[in-house]
Amino acid sequence: MRVLAALSGGVDSAVAAARAVDAGHDVVGVHMALSRNRDEFRTGSRGCCSIEDAGDARRAADVLGIPYYVWDLSDRFEETVVADFLSEYAAGRTPNPCVRCNEHIKFEALLDKGVALGFDAVCTGHYARIETGAQVDGSSTAGPGEVRGGVRRELHRANDSAKDQSYVLAVMGPDRLARAMFPLGEAPSKDEVRAEAAARGLGVSDKPDSYDICFVADGDTQGFLRERLGTRPGDVVDTEGTVVGAHDGAYAYTVGQRKGLALGRPAPDGRPRYVLDVRPATNTVVVGAAELLTVTALQADRAVWFVPVVSSDEGWFGCSVQVRAHGTPVPAHARAVSGAQGPTSGVEVRLDEGLRGVAPGQSVVLYDGTRVLGQATLTASSR
């Protein structure tokens, strides 16, 4: 196959590309330039896609002996991922920019451009597994999640649970999964991936992992939001509506937050208070006791399904639910319902045990064991 290997400049993508070469594929490396600031440099292990990362990606391609290109996707990144990040926070929600990057950049812009150029698949350094499921009808026309020949492809958790990235990949959907490759899904640990990189002579073997938000390289998310959205002073209130503090922008707060509230009036019982709700319409932040954060029901929209579902009042099925990239999955029952995008684009979830600090805008991923069943964006929760 002709494979387009996304080279971020890190160890994972370099080893993934190397394994694609070893498998006999015709591999071409591409680095996505996502920053509009061409002079942006990496700050330690914060951020990614910097000028240093582009150089590291080029050197990895040289070691592997594959062609290498840089694609400028900075405008697309700004118009989709960054714009979504800002609008979601401005609306009082808590987005995950890695989910949107996988949706709009890596498995939309990159994959679509690659397919247009004649590539069969995109290879990335994500930690997730692709398994083949049961045979379907064997027809020559592939359906959702299928490849020609009638084999259904399934997205599963990685073998290394500490590095598993199926949560942020679930938004890609079955059609794009059919053209994806994740060679590191079977890797037992990141240490072994680093050891493999060193053995192959890849200079990124000891490069630190990137973390935080790539376009907020200094880690100051509130400062980034304040710069882009401006100062919007308002009140912090308790559950009775009593003003207990002030803020410079409700967008800087998220459900479950405790630190940085700077409340002027302590709670009558002296207990710490947490953000319970962000209300952009009134520009207020609501705080209260920790137990008020626990929810047992979720509503979500913009669903992406990897399995056939129907919208039904009786269509509840057992699953586990994860609401954070490295959160603990909890047992639940869910069903597809009608949503803004169609008959099965909504999801209702009943949690078998409570979850704390769940915020609108988060990605809700449904699993059956290690297999991803579907993904949706949280719109509301209740106790």
Please, is 73 exposed, middle or buried when counting C-beta atoms within 10 Å of its C-beta (0-12, 13-18, 19+)? buried
Please, is 3 exposed, middle or buried when counting C-beta atoms within 10 Å of its C-beta (0-12, 13-18, 19+)? buried
Residue 370's H or E segment, with its range, is none
CA distances from 214 to 14, 217, 325 (A): 19, 6, 16
DSSP state of 43: B
Residues paired with 350 in a beta bridge: 297, 333
270 Cβ contact partners less than 8 Å away, ≥ 6 residues apart: none
240 Cβ contact partners less than 8 Å away, ≥ 6 residues apart: none
Q: CA–CA separation, 5 vs 21, rounded Å? A: 10
Place of tokens 């993934």: 16
Q: CA–CA separation, 298 vs 347, rounded Å? A: 8
Q: How many CB atoms lie within 10 A of CB 215?
A: 21
Catalytic annotation, pick one of 48, 101, 123, 319 = 101
Inter-residue contact 347 to 336 (CB < 8 Å): yes
Amino acid at 199: A
- Our answer to whether residue 49 is catalytic in this structure is no
- Our answer to whether residue 319 is catalytic in this structure is no
Catalytic annotation, pick one of 48, 98, 214, 319 = 214
DSSP state of 105: I
Q: CA–CA separation, 364 vs 373, rounded Å? A: 11
Structure token pair of residue 370? 């290690």
Known catalytic residues?
101, 214
